[in-house]
Amino acid sequence: MSQPIASIYSFYRNGFKNMTVGRTLWKIIFIKLIVMFAVLKLFFFPNYLKTNFQNDQQRADHVLEQLSRMTTHNQ
Amino acid sequence: MLDVDLSLVNWSRAQFALTAMYHWIFVPLTLGLSFLCAMFESIFVRTGNEKWKAITRFWMTLFGINFAIGVATGIILEFQFGTNWSNYSWMVGDIFGAPLAVEGIFAFFLEATFFAVMFFGWNRVSKSFHLFSTWMVAIGSNLSALWILVANAWMQNPVGMAFNPETARFEMENFWAVLFSPVAMSKFTHTTSSGFLLGSLFVLTISCWYLLKGRHVEMAKKSIVVASVFGLLSSIFVAFTGDEAAFEVAQKQPMKLAAFEGLYKGETNAGLVAMGMINGDKKPGDSQQPFLFELKAPGLLSLLANRKTGSFVPGIDDLVYGNKEHNVMGVTEKMSKGKLAVADLTAFKQARKAKDVVAAQAALTRFNTNKEYLGYGYLNSPEEAVPPVSTAFYSFHIMVILGSIFPVLFLAFLFLTIKGKITEQRWLLPLGVPAFFLGLIAQQMGWVVAEVGRQPWAIQGLMPVKVATTNIAVGHVQATFFMFLAVFTLLLIAEIKIMLKQISIGPEGM
């Protein structure tokens, strides 16, 4: 059981160790993911409905309110 | 008037467009190059010739660079759904949840397993298992694209669902109708085959550059043969699937087709515009000519739209104001029905709030009569249903013209390479170098055609884009727009630098 896991571990370890251009690419991927999730998502892209309403009923009511409010102004 | 800030809607649109267009630089190249890598490797496994292995590893490295820079750029679109498009995101959550979840699971398993074997497994796993992994990456990447295209197709042709006024959500009723809708199928086949075409152009461009420089000549010639065969077949397939996609547009989104062709007055035996210049001052319903000049192929638009040359194709004016003779309901009439639907939705909400079950049920029954016109209830004028005609027309025609050049290019390269005369063709090789960039333009134009052409709808006929937006400060959207622009530009510079370095090293560095 442990033999296959050890082989898989060694496969990935050696693969990462022997990378050339891959090292630069992984750095870019990590920086990109950090910028996306730790900066952009956290500070600039909150989920509006999740942040401002407590449950799905409130969210549904808000969206319905938006849909009707637009009509009222439209008529 | 609507209390929707149009500059907010447009900035949200611009931000989404910027992200999607940037993401779309990488995706089609991944789709096409993955199959080319699998083909190069198949030749290596079949022949045992180490030169083919070097060729495979070279193109695989470029594939890896493109994949790494492009990976996760699509996630930003999902961030935007929650912040800028919360009404939309809430209403379609039930429809999009399944396809996007399948895509996520698919991508994860694919990337964690076969991708690792493809890059780390040379000389460590058997040749046949390595080849199998490369094919799985190609097939998996393309199948992964299926789900996002199914979601997009649903927005263009919402099927297999029902709107639930209780939850304010479109709820899925038939997953298979969503997955196998003709729009989804034509979108998937057209998009993936155009990716194959772009991958082939990429190989052609770099190979031509090597031949012009007199470097890696044998690899370049071998690569050209494979890319030209694959590119030629893909170009033919792109033409067929494009024809099918246009037919679906004609049936499901006739306004979009009319905008593609700058067709204002509907015609029987309608001609397809081969070339033309739009009159920018032309408005729906006026008497101005739609074109400053045009060159048409008679009957072909009718054939494309209805599979009959003598058939009637409605123009923008017919679709906006109606045409009783040809049984075309105009936007004016649809708006009346839509406004009733929205009023009944409002009545339902108020009755429910007042806990008046009878009134709520009555409002719901009335709503169901006109619900298919719901989105039209939010339009301020019938002309608002017309997409930007010039943008749709030029992007469509640029895409088609470029798409017609590529098969000729592939055929010329294939013929001359097989004849052993390609290195003597100093006039042809420089034409191959910009081919990839023309392919990228065609890709972007295809995206513009699909998305600008369906305006003003986020969901065809049911939800205009302005209803889909979140009422947040426009300054916030502007700030994040420029933030993305900076991040994307940096990433693109990084990709170009790494890619150029690797190309200049060539296959010896693999």
Interface with chain A: mutation pick from B91, B169, B342, highest number of A CBs within 10 Å = B342
The rounded mean pLDDT for chain A is 82
φ, ψ of residue B278 in degrees (nearest 5): -70, 140
Distance CA B341, CA B335 (A): 10
DSSP 8-class letter at B422: G
For chain A, the domains span 1-44, 47-75
Interchain contact, A74 vs B82, CB within 8 Å: no
pLDDT beyond 50 at B473: yes
Q: Which has the higher per-residue pLDDT, B237 or B353?
A: B237
Residues of chain A whose C-beta is under 8 A from some C-beta in B? 11-12, 14-16, 18, 21-22, 24-26, 28-29, 32-33, 35-36, 40-41, 44-50, 56, 59-61, 63-75
Beta strands B267-268 and B291-297, pairing class: unpaired
Give the CA distances from residue A4 to residues A10, B109, B303, in Å, rounded to whole numbers and listed in that order: 10, 18, 60
CA distances from B184 to A31, B59, B220 (A): 35, 31, 37
Q: With contacts defined as CB-CB under 8 Å, which chain B residues touch A13?
A: none
Task: Specify the 3-state DSSP secondary structure of B192.
Answer: helix
Interchain CB distance below 8 Å, B64 and A46:
no
Are B2 and B459 contacting, i.e. CB atoms less than 8 angstroms apart? no
**Is the confidence at residue B147, as pLDDT, over 50?**
yes
Give the helix ranges, DSSP H, for B262-330.
300-306, 316-321
User: Which pLDDT does position B203 carry in this prediction?
Assistant: 97
Q: Environment class of residue B264 by beta-carbon count within 10 Å: exposed (0-12), middle (13-18) or buried (19+)?
A: buried
Least confident of A28-32, B35-39, B197-201: A28-32
**What ipTM does the predicted assembly reach?**
0.82
**N- to C-terminal Cα separation, chain B:** 63
Report the chain A residue with the minimal C-alpha distance to residue B353: A61
Chain A CB contacts of B61 under 8 Å are: 21
Tokens representing residue B11 in the block: 């900035």
A74, B83: Cβ pair inside 8 Å? Answer: no
Q: Is the Cβ of B470 closer than 8 Å to some Cβ of chain A? A: yes
* B265: confidence class by pLDDT, cuts 50, 70, 90: very high
Surface of B (161-180) touching A: CB under 8 A: 165-169
Find the mean pLDDT for residues B245-267.
95
By Cβ distance, the residue of B75, B89, B90 closest to A36 is: B75
- Looking at A5-19, B83-97, B297-311, B478-492, which range is the least confident one? A5-19
3-class SS of residue B297: strand
Q: Which residue has the higher pLDDT, A25 or B209?
A: B209
pLDDT per position as a tens digit, B13-31:
999 999 999 999 999 999 9
Inter-chain CB pairs, A–B, below 8 Å: 131
Whether B116 contacts B130, CB under 8 Å: no
On whether any CB of chain A is under 8 Å from the CB of B473, the answer is no
Which residues in chain B have their CB less than 8 angstroms from residue A11's CB? 116, 120-121, 124
Each residue of B339-349: pLDDT tens digit? 999 999 999 98
Identify which of A41, A60, A67 has the shortest CB distance to residue B79.
A41
Question: How far is the C-alpha of B33 from the C-alpha of A75, rounded, in Å?
Answer: 53
Q: How far apart are CA B276 and CA B263, in angstroms?
A: 12
Quote the CA–CA distance of A67 and B347 in Å, as a whole number: 12
B121:A33 CB<8 A: no
Interface test with A, best of B58, B120, B476, B492 (most A CBs within 10 A): B120
